[in-house]
Every structure is written in C-alpha cells, then in structure tokens.
Amino acid sequence: MNIYIDSASPEQIRTADRRVRLAGVTTNPSIVAETDRRYRDVVEHAAAITDGPVFAQVLAEDADGMVREARGYQEWADHVIAKIPATRAGFEALGRLRADGVPAGATVIFTVEQAVVAAENDATFVAPYVGRIDDSGDDGVATTRRIQSIFDAQGFETEVLAASIRNTTQATALYEAGIDAITMSPSVLDAHVDSPETAESVAGFASAWGDRDPPLSE
Ligand code: G3P
C-alpha cells in the first residue's frame, strides 16, 4: 500500500517522510493557495524532498488548457504528474494525454463510473474524495471499496488513491478493504501515530528508570 502526504509545506512533507515510507506528495489548489507561494515553487520543492510522484492539479477548466498545463508541469521535475479533475473537459484532456503518452491521474472523483472512465483512459491514479462523498450524503468508504474491487476484477493498473480522508476510522476501513493508496493530511498522519496511552506508558517507563545511568553510559 502507498501512503502519500497531502501537503504543500516542505516542513510537513519532510516530517511525514521521516515518520513513514512516503510514496509521494499530493497537492491541490486550495492547499497551495494557503501558502502564498507560486504553484511551481511548491511543486518543485516537494519534488526535491521525495523521489516519489508529486501530483499537481491543473487549474484550467477547458481541455486545451488542461493539456497545456499537464505538459508544462512535466518540465518542473521528472516525477511531477498532473491531476485532472473528473469533469467533461477533464476526461477529454485525459484522453488526449493518453494518446500522447503523457501520464496523468484523475482527481475529485465522486462516483464509481467516473473512476472506470478514468481507468479506461489509462489514468495513473484515481482519487475518490472520501470525506466529500460523505458530505454529499453518499458513502465515501463504500464508493472507494467498489472502485477498488472493480479495478481488481478488471485488472486495471490505475492506482486507487483515496483522498479527502478526515479521520482514522475512514483510513482503517480503507486499509481493511485492501486499498492501493491513501493520501492524508499531516493531522490525520499525526492521529495515526499519537496515542495518549502510549505516551502515558512511556512516561511510566522513564519514571521507573529514574535517575539511573542511561544504557550507553560508561
Ligand atoms: O486531497 C484532497 C483533499 O485535500 C481534500 O480534502 O478535506 O478538503 O475534502 P478535503
């Protein structure tokens, strides 16, 4: 399974990379906008930290513009891959990029059907928006499980990259379902790592050891 960090902050990306074997970095216009840095700078900085893919979303809303941006992003670093929103224009752009052999993934996936059309366009990944699917009144985990099971049944190579993960309950349900990949915010990664009971137990060990010499002292 691949774990990505959903962040535009070099510090957060580095911290995540130290804590877990990071598959790569996902970004989107909202989190890049929060940084007040150029999109290109954010993506290049992330690409310097990780060898894995750095996903950068196109901003254009028409197919010509999306194709142009996806090609332009490739110039930023070898491992930058464009994220194309699953709109009508987006699917047209994906089809054109496929024909030209330019790798690209499909993002803002809300339905199983969108994911299937993206996979048929050789998208490198599809990103179902689990939390936002829940917000819309549907079931984000169930939708993502269905996408994964269809991809497995059909032998699609497209990676199922669950996004918009709000909590560890969603994440662990997806792990149980055998999801290919997940991208999570630094706070959800923190929630994977932190346990008050672990902290309390570790404090208990320190207190039991008291002021004895540390194990590596002379
Ligand atoms: O990767 C997508 C993610 O950043 C969206 O998350 O919580 O805004 O739905 P959220």
Tokens of 168: 């560890």
Please list the ranges in the chain whose pLDDT falls under 70.
none
Tokens of 4: 């990505």
Does the beta carbon of 163 sit less than 6 angstroms from any atom of ligand 1?
Answer: yes
Which residue, among 44, 36, 102, has the nearest Cα to 69 in the 3D structure? Answer: 102
Q: Residue 157 is which amino acid?
A: E
Does the beta carbon of 124 sit less than 6 angstroms from any atom of ligand 1?
Answer: no
Task: List the catalytic residue out of 5, 70, 83, 147.
Answer: 83
Q: What is the pTM of this model?
A: 0.95
Look at the chain and count its residues.
218
83 is catalytic: yes
Query: 208: exposed, middle or buried (C-beta count within 10 Å: 0-12, 13-18, 19+)?
Result: exposed
Domains in the chain, please, with CATH?
2-193 (3.20.20.70)
pLDDT at 206: 97
